[in-house]
Structures are given as C-alpha cells and as structure tokens.
Amino acid sequence: MLSNRLGTVLVTALAPMIWGTTYFVTTQLLPPGRPLLAGVLRALPAGILLVALTRRLPQGSWWWRAFVLGALNIGVFFALLFVAAYRLPGGVAATLGSLQPLVVMGLSAAWLGERMSLRKVGAAAAGVVGVALLVLRANAQLDAIGIAAALGGTIVMGTGVVLSKRWTSPAPLLATTGWQLIAGGLLLLPVALLVEGLPSKALTASNVAGYAYLSTVGAALAYALWFRGIRALSPTQVTFLGLLSPTVATAVGWLALGQSLTAAQVLGAVIVLASLVVAQLRQRERDEVVARRTVEEDASPRRDEHELLSAR
C-alpha cells in the first residue's frame, strides 16, 4: 500500500517537473512576445488529440463542469499568468504562486472536510520561503495589477485543483483531461487574437518543435498525470508538488543555459524539497476516509447538483 502511494506521488511529481521546462522551451524555441498563442497551441491541440483518442464527449452536467474546470485549471489561469508575467519580475510571480498550497488547504478544509494541520501549514510556509530564495531578487519591483493577477491565478488554479477532486468524472482520465484542455484553449483563443493578433511571420522548424513539445508533453501528458494524482491523492498533497516547477526551472537554467547558482538558491531548493517530504507524510485515516467518501458521494446518482453548487 505504501509503495503504491509513493509510486503515485512520484508519477504525479513528473507533471510540475515537466512544467518546469516550459521557460527553457519558450525562450529557446518559441517566437518572442507570444505567450497567449503558446497557451492556445499548448492546450487546444492536446485536448483535441485526447478526445479523438478516447472518442468520449461529456454527458449531462459534465458539459458545464468540464468548462468550469478547464477555465480554472487552464484558460483563466494562463491568462492571469500572462498578465503577471508582463507586469512582475518572474521571481515575484513564482513566489506568489507558491502560496497555492495554503489556498488549497483552506478550500479542502471547507469543501472536502480535510484536516488543516499545523504540520501542513508549516510545510507550506517553508515552501514559500524556499521558492523565494530560489527565484526572488532583492531589486524586484512590485506592481499592484501584476500582484493581483498573480494572486488571482494562484486562487483560480487552487480552486480548480479542489473542484477536480470533488467532481470526479465517470469518464476515462484521458477524456476528462481532453475536455478541460479544449475548454481552456477555446477560452484563450479570442484573448490571444485580441491581444497578440495573428503571427506576422511563418513558424520555423524550431518553433514547431517547441509548440509540439508543449502540447504533447507539457499539456497532454503532464495534465493527465496531474489529474490522475488528484484522483488518487488529497488535493493538498498534490498541490505541494507544484513547488517542483520553479525548482526544476532553476536547475534547467543552471545546467542548460549556464546561469549562476548561488548558495541562497541551493538552500532554497533544499527547503522546497524538505517541505515536499513533510507534506507527503502519511495523514491520519480520517482524512483518507473523508476523501473516499467525497468521491463515493459524488459518483452516486442521488447526488443533487444544487448541493454541489451550494458547497462553493
């Protein structure tokens, strides 16, 4: 049982580790100044591919649930991330994003009945400190709109994580992932056209390779692993793994781009990894029973949709 759970944690951790390579791929392979286009081409083709492979469309309430989850986990989150990236230094945005475990813990306590322990709160606080040491710079400038966008993105994706646990789809994992990617991509498409317009130059072979990587590996594979983890683990345990993304991004910058690595950044990486280990320690059986009961109740045909909405 323990080995199965550890295996699930390790496989789920691959998703944020893959996302940690996004900065390298974006800067080295993609055309500059088109992050929204990258979001669309990352989500939409991957979603279409997964739906085509599974040949499964949403049914009943899952039409609007897939749209809501796709907006929270992908569409609205990417848009807010775009605003934050343009108005804040990357270190500030990543540090604010590391608050997500605290958001998920609060929502999980309210909606799923999970216990919000001092151990998990302490691990979340340590994770924020670790990420700040990794990516935050002393001369970072703040911007009110950028901070609001970064915090909004953190809250939006945190909400998506918890709702993904509460709303367990009866469809195969790949189909549900595909629905969300399509919904998120369709939401981003008009925003990308309005803000960035159509590309003025033809895509190069490097551009195509970069978009293909982000779509197949960075979206189809990574989101499938992420949602699989949410089904099997508690949302709090899963969201802590997201701290691996800035850690991997820093490591890739050091290894592949020759960026310097300071003692403070090494200490930050150690703190992040320690917080991950503490967060993944086995919880009391009560939390596991509550999580199983939530899934069973949601799968029951007697579950009234109005009751789900009132829980929000």
pLDDT digits (tens, 9 = 90+) for 17-43: 999 999 899 989 999 889 999 999 999
List the structure tokens of 228: 């699989």
d(CA 247, CA 97): 13
* 138 residue type, one letter: A
d(CA 43, CA 220): 8
Contact partners, residue 125, CB within 8 Å, separation at least 6? 102
In percent, the amount of the chain with pLDDT more than 70 equals 89
pTM to 2 decimal places:
0.88
pLDDT the model gives residue 85: 84
DSSP string covering the chain: -HHHHHHHHHHHHHHHHHHTTHHHHHHHHSPTT-HHHHHHHHHHHHHHHHHHHHT----TTHHHHHHHHHIIIIIHHHHHHHHHHHHS-HHHHHHHHTTHHHHHHHHHHHHT-----HHHHHHHHHHHHHHHHHH--TTPPP-HHHHHHHHHHHHHHHHHHHHHHHS--SS-HHHHHHHHHHHHHHHHHHHHHHHT-S-SSPPPHHHHHHHHHHHIIIIIIHHHHHHHHHHHS-HHHHHHHTTHHHHHHHHHHHHHS-----HHHHHHHHHHHHHHHHHHSPPPHHHHHHHHHHHHHHHSTT--HHHHHHH-
Mean pLDDT, residues 277-293: 62
pLDDT digits (tens, 9 = 90+) for 245-272: 999 999 999 999 888 899 999 999 999 9
141 phi and psi angles, rounded to 5 deg:
-100, 145
Q: What's the pLDDT band for 140 if we cut at 50, 70, 90?
A: confident
248 phi and psi angles, rounded to 5 deg:
-65, -40
What would you measure as the largest C-alpha separation in the chain, in angstroms? 58
d(CA 90, CA 82): 11
HSE toward the beta carbon, residue 69, CA cutoff 13 A: 26
d(CA 142, CA 175): 40
pLDDT the model gives residue 307: 34
pLDDT the model gives residue 89: 85
CA dihedral 119, 124, 126, 130 (to 10 degrees): 150
Q: What's the pLDDT band for 287 if we cut at 50, 70, 90?
A: very low
pLDDT surpasses 70 at 170? yes
* Contact criterion met (CB below 8 Å) for 279 and 237: yes
* Contact criterion met (CB below 8 Å) for 234 and 5: no
Contact partners, residue 6, CB within 8 Å, separation at least 6? none
Residue with tokens 């509550």: 290
Pick from 160, 122, 117: which is nearest to 287 by CA?
A: 117
